[in-house]
């Protein structure tokens, strides 16, 4: 994993907050840490989920999502860049589809896909996150879609 940041102590603190979220909550399932890591008025944007506003709505999403479409979900961090109030993470996500996802039934297949997340830190907590993920690659691996042939 590459970690790039300035010598700024604030950047290092911000990276530690995001890493704690990814390591302990996303990969470790410790959802009780959400209140410590996110602001109450947080906003989650992008990916296949659209937008989630407010910590209570986000906690409901996380509780539902962990028992939802994918099992053995794991986010691997490949690169972190921090500057000011922003922390950018380049990652791969992986999991096995065990439930419906984007209107398709469970396939039982595993997939790995790329993503980028940009986190905004305010007063020592995550106030916002924006994501882009390669959902097309995931759906191709799951066999739920195919590309046209010539």
Summarised one tens digit per residue, pLDDT across range 59-99 is 988 777 666 788 888 999 999 999 999 999 999 999 999 98
Domain range spanning residue 46? 2-142
The tens digit of pLDDT for each residue in 120-130 reads: 999 999 999 99
Indicate whether 105 belongs to any domain. Answer: yes
CATH code for the domain of 11? 3.10.450.50
How far, rounded to the nearest angstrom, does the alpha carbon of residue 56 sit from its chain's CA centroid?
17
| Residue 5 pLDDT exceeds 50 | no
Count CB-CB contacts under 10 A for residue 42: 21
Angle among Cα 26, 14, 83 to the nearest 5 degrees reads 120
Q: Give the per-residue pLDDT at 38.
A: 97
Q: Give the per-residue pLDDT at 47.
A: 66
Into how many domains does the chain fold?
1
Those residues with Cβ within 8 angstroms of residue 121's Cβ, 6 or more apart along the chain or in another chain? 14, 17, 18, 85, 86, 87, 127
**Half-sphere exposure of 96 toward its Cβ, with a 13 Å CA cutoff?**
5
Indicate whether 147 belongs to any domain. Answer: no
The tens digit of pLDDT for each residue in 13-51 reads: 999 999 999 999 999 989 999 999 999 999 999 866 689
- d(Cα 50, Cα 33) in Å, to the nearest integer? 23
Indicate whether 149 belongs to any domain. Answer: no
Tell me how far CA of residue 91 lies from CA of 36, 64, 86, 114, 115, in angstroms.
Answer: 23, 22, 16, 6, 5
Indicate whether 150 belongs to any domain. Answer: no
Indicate whether 148 belongs to any domain. Answer: no
- d(Cα 142, Cα 127) in Å, to the nearest integer? 33
Indicate whether 124 belongs to any domain. Answer: yes
What value does the mean pLDDT of the chain take?
A: 90
pTM of the predicted protein model: 0.86
Indicate whether 89 belongs to any domain. Answer: yes
């Amino acid at each position: 994993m590459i970690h790039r940041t300035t010598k700024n102590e604030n950047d290092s603190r911000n990276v530690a907050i995001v890493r704690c979220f990814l390591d302990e909550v996303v990969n470790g399932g410790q959802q009780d840490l959400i209140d410590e890591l996110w602001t109450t008025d947080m906003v989650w944007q992008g990916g296949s989920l659209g937008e989630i506003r407010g910590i209570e709505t986000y906690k409901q999403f996380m509780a539902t999502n962990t028992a939802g479409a994918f099992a053995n979900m794991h986010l691997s961090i490949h690169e972190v860049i921090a500057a000011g109030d922003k922390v950018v993470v380049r990652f791969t996500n992986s999991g096995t589809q065990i439930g419906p996802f984007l209107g398709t039934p469970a396939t039982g297949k595993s997939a790995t896909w790329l993503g980028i997340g940009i986190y905004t830190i305010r007063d020592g907590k995550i106030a916002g996150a924006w994501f882009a993920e390669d959902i097309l690659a995931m759906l191709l691996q799951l066999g739920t879609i195919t590309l046209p042939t010539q």
